[in-house]
Amino acid sequence: MSIAWEYVDGQRRLPEGFFGPPEERGEDWPDDPELRAAVEWFIELLGHDEWERKRTEVAEFFYSSPEEKVTFDSRGRYFDSSDTFAWYLFHAEAFLDYVWHYEPMTGSKAVPVFKALGQRMDLLKAIPNVEERARRIFGSERSQPNGGLFELLVASKYAELGATVSFKPEQPGIAKTHDLDVELSGRKFAVECKRMDAGDYAESERARARVLWGPVANQFVRLRRSVFCNANFLVPLEDVPDDYLLSKAHEFLSGDASNLIWNDEIGWGGIGNVDLAPLNQHLEDYDVLIDGTLFHEFIAGVYIRNASIIQTTRHMTDASPRHMSECDLAIMLRWASVSHDSIERKARDITRHLARANEQLPDDCDAIVHIGFDAVDRAEVEVRRRQRIFETVNNFDPGDKRLCRVYCHWFAPESPPHEAWAYDETVNWFDFVPDMPQNFAGAMTVVMPESADFREGVHWEPSDQTP
């Protein structure tokens, strides 16, 4: 499949067949009826003509130049963040019908969620007011769709447990109400869902890391020298001197060794030459996603879940501008901030979200709160986050509200080097009353299916995920 632009009368347009579907499906690209059920439901609600328009806009932005993207988003994202839902839906459909446009980092967030909804689609469609709720996700909430998708996941899960579920109609300008009315085992519950998105501090760290690494990358570009640097900062990145990494690069270049290892009061790490021969040998038979985790594994030597990476490459492409077919320069930084201050600021607590959820609960009905968030930081951050959450919930006073249980859902999307996506969901629950229905026993995962292989503990425990 060629992804080259076509030009008609001087106007750039997408080539015919850009969005598939494939003429034949081989064993390596089977259909997924569950995922397709959710994709088709959203497209039907949105309208096919409107989706074709949005899909084209997403693709044109995706394949536009970096200079074109920066006019939309100074953070250098691959998508226009004013319509994140369209970006999600694009990748869910791409996984089905035009996988050559699939971007694994986004796909790992979108595909498992859509697939989970598709598995319970018949139950979801039967819930009163569900279409009204879904339309807000691609309407007023399109820039931040995670909250609405989380509500759909929770609602369909209760329906799967045998509950009678309905979405509470909005009362804009009148009052904030809970999200769901649920009746199970003869008891009625008001259910409120809160979905936490990533905090601003993590984004500020990424911006600061780009400032620290930029001069280093420019120097190695001028030298045409491929290197990999692993840097771990013991102080907040805003306290790292501007020339810290540059000084390490100069020390490395002034020596005769193939690498430099350092350990000081600011941080520890290493920088060394990279042999591109294994990568190019692989490229003789297979193209590699330019910014994918397989490429990172070739350069860094090991794959680390959700590692923070900054890279510069010089490469050739063939059929797709997103996949390299040859590479003669790779300059990469893998960095981590392990200072106490950084860990505390990234291990965001749920206090504010729990308090807001409790405020929206009625006074005259038993209630349950679900709080979901991405847990994609290093183990040190997630361990501290867990400690803070346990402290918060165990000491929380719901006042006059009849809060019975709080669920915390830890979502961990991942794009491993040799898989299209992977997903972990860890659930903790906290009871404020002793007599919850037996139907609620267990973790009540909302993304991971009941048929999945579950294990005790949390997803960040394996030692091989910590560098």
Q: pLDDT tens digit string along 119-143?
A: 999 999 999 999 999 999 999 999 9
**What number of other Cβ atoms are within 10 A of residue 10's Cβ?**
5
Q: What is the enclosing helix (H) or strand (E) of 313? A: strand 308-317
pLDDT tens per residue, range 291-329? 999 999 999 999 998 899 999 999 999 878 889 999 999
Q: Report how far apart, in Å, the C-alpha atoms of 104 and of each of 18, 412, 420, 457 are.
A: 18, 14, 6, 26
Question: Mean pLDDT, to the nearest integer, of 438-465?
Answer: 66
Q: How does strand 227-233 pair with strand 187-196?
A: unpaired
Q: Grade residue 19 by pLDDT with cuts at 50, 70 and 90.
A: confident
Instruction: Check residue 121 and give its pLDDT.
Output: 97
Q: Grade residue 71 by pLDDT with cuts at 50, 70 and 90.
A: very low
* Integer Cα distance of 390 and 396 in angstroms: 10
- The contacts of residue 383 (CB under 8 Å, 6+ apart) are 460
**With b meaning 16 or more CB within 10 Å and e meaning fewer, what string describes 358-395?**
bebbeeeebbbbbbbbbbbbbbbbbbbbbebbeebbee
pLDDT tens per residue, range 144-174? 999 999 999 999 999 999 999 999 987 766 6
Q: Grade residue 376 by pLDDT with cuts at 50, 70 and 90.
A: confident
Q: Grade residue 215 by pLDDT with cuts at 50, 70 and 90.
A: very high
pLDDT tens per residue, range 179-207? 999 998 889 999 999 999 877 888 899 99
Instruction: Check residue 82 and give its pLDDT.
Output: 87
Instruction: Check residue 390 and give its pLDDT.
Output: 94
Q: Report how far apart, in Å, the C-alpha atoms of 290 and of each of 130, 215, 310, 316, 317 are.
A: 40, 22, 12, 10, 9
Instruction: Check residue 3 and give its pLDDT.
Output: 60
pLDDT higher at 81 or 215: 215
Q: Measure the CA angle with vertex 273, ends 268 and 274; round to 5°.
A: 110
Structure tokens at 156: 């369909």
Number of H-type helices and E-type strands within the chain = 15, 14
Q: Grade residue 441 by pLDDT with cuts at 50, 70 and 90.
A: low
Structure tokens at 221: 């570009």
Instruction: Check residue 72 and give its pLDDT.
Output: 46
For tokens 């869902």, what's the residue?
Answer: 193
Instruction: Check residue 321 and give its pLDDT.
Output: 84
* Integer Cα distance of 333 and 310 in angstroms: 5
What's phi and psi for 271, nearest 5 deg? -140, 135
**What number of other Cβ atoms are within 10 A of residue 202's Cβ?**
17
Q: What is the enclosing helix (H) or strand (E) of 280? A: helix 277-283
Does the pLDDT value for residue 2 go beyond 70? Answer: no
Instruction: Check residue 200 and give its pLDDT.
Output: 81
Instruction: Check residue 458 and give its pLDDT.
Output: 61
Chain Cα centroid distance, residue 161: 27
Long-range CB pairs of 350-357 (<8 Å, 24+ gap) are 350/194, 350/196, 350/389, 350/392, 350/393, 350/408, 351/392, 353/194, 353/196, 354/194, 354/392, 354/393, 354/396, 354/406, 356/194, 357/192, 357/193, 357/194
Query: Among the listed ranges 160-174, 272-286, 371-385, which one has the minimum average pLDDT value?
Result: 160-174
Instruction: Check residue 347 and give its pLDDT.
Output: 87
Q: Grade residue 342 by pLDDT with cuts at 50, 70 and 90.
A: very high
Per residue, the 3-state secondary structure of 213-231, as one string, reads: HHHHHHHHHHHCCCEEEEE
Q: What is the enclosing helix (H) or strand (E) of 212? A: helix 200-223
Question: Mean pLDDT, to the nearest integer, of 17-26?
Answer: 81
* Integer Cα distance of 288 and 290 in angstroms: 6
Does the pLDDT value for residue 465 go beyond 60? Answer: no
Q: Grade residue 459 by pLDDT with cuts at 50, 70 and 90.
A: low
